[in-house]
Copies of this chain bind each other. A is one copy, B any other.
Amino acid sequence: MTPAVVLLSGGLDSYTAAAVARRDGFELFALSFRYGQRHQLEIESARRVATHLGVSRHLVLDLDLSAIGGSSLTSPDIPVPRDRQVDATGIPSTYVPARNTIFLSIALGWAEVLGASDIFIGVNALDYSGYPDCRPEFIHAFERLARVATRAGVEGRALTVHAPLMRMTKAEIIGLGMALGLDYGLTISCYDPAPDGAPCGHCDSCQLRATGFAAAGVPDPAGRPLAR
C-alpha cells in the first residue's frame, strides 16, 4: 500500500478527508497537534477517529503556538467570535497565524521519512471561515515549495497535497462521509466547548456544522443540547 500522511484535527472535515485517502487505497499515517488550542477534547476526538479509520500510526505532537498568540483559539484573553462576527479583513480572530503552513511542514518532514509523496488535509474554501491557508492557491504554493525543500523533491519525487474537500459544501462533505460509513458522533467541531464537551452553538465552526447537517437532511449524531 502507498503511504500517506493525513492531518487529523478531531473535526468533521479532516476525518472525511482521511476517509477519502483510505477509500483511494492509501495506508494512513495520521498526524495531530496539541498546539495550545483551547481544549484538548479535539485530541481525544482525533484518537477516536484514527482508531475508527484503522490508521497504521497516529502521531500526536506538541507545539505550543500559544507562546506566539495572536488567535482566539490559542489566547484565552481573545474571545472566540460569536455568530459570524469578523474583523475588517474578513478573517475572524480564530485564524491561527500560519497554522496550516506549520502543520503541512511537519507533515512534509514525516512524509519524507516515511517515503510518502502524498499528504491529505481537510481544508475547504466554500463553507469555511475565510482563513487564507485553506484556499487552493495556498495548497499549490505549498506543493511548489516542497519540490525544492526536501531530499525527495531534489530527487524528483513530487509531493501532492490532496485537499479533496476544497470545493465541496459542508452538506456535500457530510453526504460523502455518510456514504463512506463515517461516524460523525466521534468528532468535535466547536471552537469553545463547555468543559464537558457540549458545543457552544455560536462559533463559526458550530454554525457551519449545524447548517451543513440541516442542508444534508440528516441529524448530527454528535448533536446535544447547546451549552449556552
Residues of chain B contacted by A135 (CB below 8 angstroms): 148
A63 to B110 Cα, complex, angstroms: 13
Within 8 A of B (CB), among A63-95: 63-65, 67-70, 89, 91, 95
On whether A109 and B98 interact (CB within 8 A), knowing A89-B151, A145-B142, A149-B138, the answer reads: yes
Q: In the assembly, how many copies of this chain are there? A: 2
Q: Which one of A62, A63, A113 has the greatest number of beta carbons of chain B within 10 Å?
A: A113
On whether A61 and B69 interact (CB within 8 A), knowing A98-B112, A148-B137, the answer reads: no
A101 to B102 Cα, complex, angstroms: 8
Is B133 in contact with A138, judged by CB distance below 8 angstroms? Answer: no
Q: Which of B97, B137, B138, B153 contacts A108 (CB 8 A)?
A: B97
A133 to B101 Cα, complex, angstroms: 16
* Complex: chain B residue closest to A140, CB-CB: B148
Residues of chain B contacted by A179 (CB below 8 angstroms): none
- Which 8 residue pairs are nearest across A and B when measured between Cβ atoms? A98-B109, A70-B113, A97-B112, A97-B109, A141-B145, A102-B105, A101-B105, A98-B108
Q: Mind listing 29 A-B residue pairs with CB under 8 Å?
A: A59-B68, A61-B63, A61-B64, A62-B64, A63-B63, A68-B106, A68-B110, A69-B113, A70-B109, A70-B112, A70-B113, A97-B109, A97-B113, A98-B106, A101-B146, A101-B149, A102-B105, A102-B109, A105-B105, A132-B148, A132-B149, A132-B150, A132-B151, A133-B149, A133-B150, A138-B145, A141-B145, A142-B149, A145-B145
